[in-house]
Structure 1
Amino acid sequence: MARYTGPKTKIDRIFGEPILGNGKYLGKNPNPPGQHGANRKRKQLGEYALQLKEKQKAKYTYGVLERQFRSTFDEASRRKGVTGDNLIQLLEARLDNTVYRLGIVSSRPAARQLVSHKHITVNGEVVNIPSFRLKAGDIIGLKPKSDDNSAVTSMIKGKNPKINWLDWNETEKKGTFIAYPERENVPENIKVQLIVELYSK
Structure 2
Amino acid sequence: MARNREPVLKRAKALGIEPQYMGINKKSKRQPKQIRRKKSEYGIQLTEKQKVKFMYGLQEKQFRNLFVKASKKPGEAGTNFLIALESRLDNVVFRMGFAATRREARQMVNHGHFLINGKKANIPSMEVKAGDVISVKEKSKSIQKFKELKEMVITTPEWISIDTEKLEGRILKAPTREDIDLPIEEHNIVEFYSR
Does the alignment reach a TM-score above 0.5? yes
Which whole-Å CA distance do the structure 2 matches of 1:60 and 1:153 have between them?
Answer: 30
Partner AA of 2:170 in structure 1: T
Q: Distance in 1 between matches of 2:189 and 2:155?
A: 27
**TM-score when scaled to structure 2?**
0.91
Q: Deviations over 1:39-77 (max 9, x none)?
A: 3x3342110000000000000000111000000100111
- Name the Cα RMSD after superposition: 1.7
Alignment length (residue pairs): 192
User: What corresponds to 2:161 in structure 1?
Assistant: 167
Residue 115 of structure 2 is matched in structure 1 by 121
> What's the TM-score, normalizing by structure 1?
0.88
Percent identity between matched residues is 38
1:89-115 Cα offsets, whole Å, 9 max, x none, are: 000010000000001111111101110
Q: Which runs of 5+ in 2 are unaligned?
A: none
- Higher RCO (CA < 8 A, seq sep 6+): 2
The 1:5–1:20 alpha-carbon spacing in structure 2 relative to 1, beyond 3 Å, is farther
- Residue 103 of structure 1 aligns with which residue? 97
Alignment of 1:113-192 (within 5 A): 113-155=107-149, 157=152, 159-161=154-156, 163-192=157-186
Q: Map of 1:17-96 to 2, 5 A cutoff?
A: 17=17, 18=19, 20=22, 22=24, 24-26=26-28, 28-31=29-32, 38-39=33-34, 41-96=35-90
> What letter is aligned with 1:5?
R
Which runs of 5 or more structure 1 residues have no equivalent in the other structure? Answer: 32-37
Would the aligned equivalents of 1:139 and 1:176 in 2 still touch at CA under 8 Å? yes
SS at match of 2:6: coil
Q: Secondary structure of the equivalent of 2:161?
A: strand
Structure-2 change in CA distance of 1:191 and 1:89 (3 Å): same
**For residues 170 and 21 of structure 1, do their structure 2 counterparts lie closer, same or farther at Cα, with a shift above 3 Å needed?**
closer
Secondary structure class of the residue paired with 1:48: helix
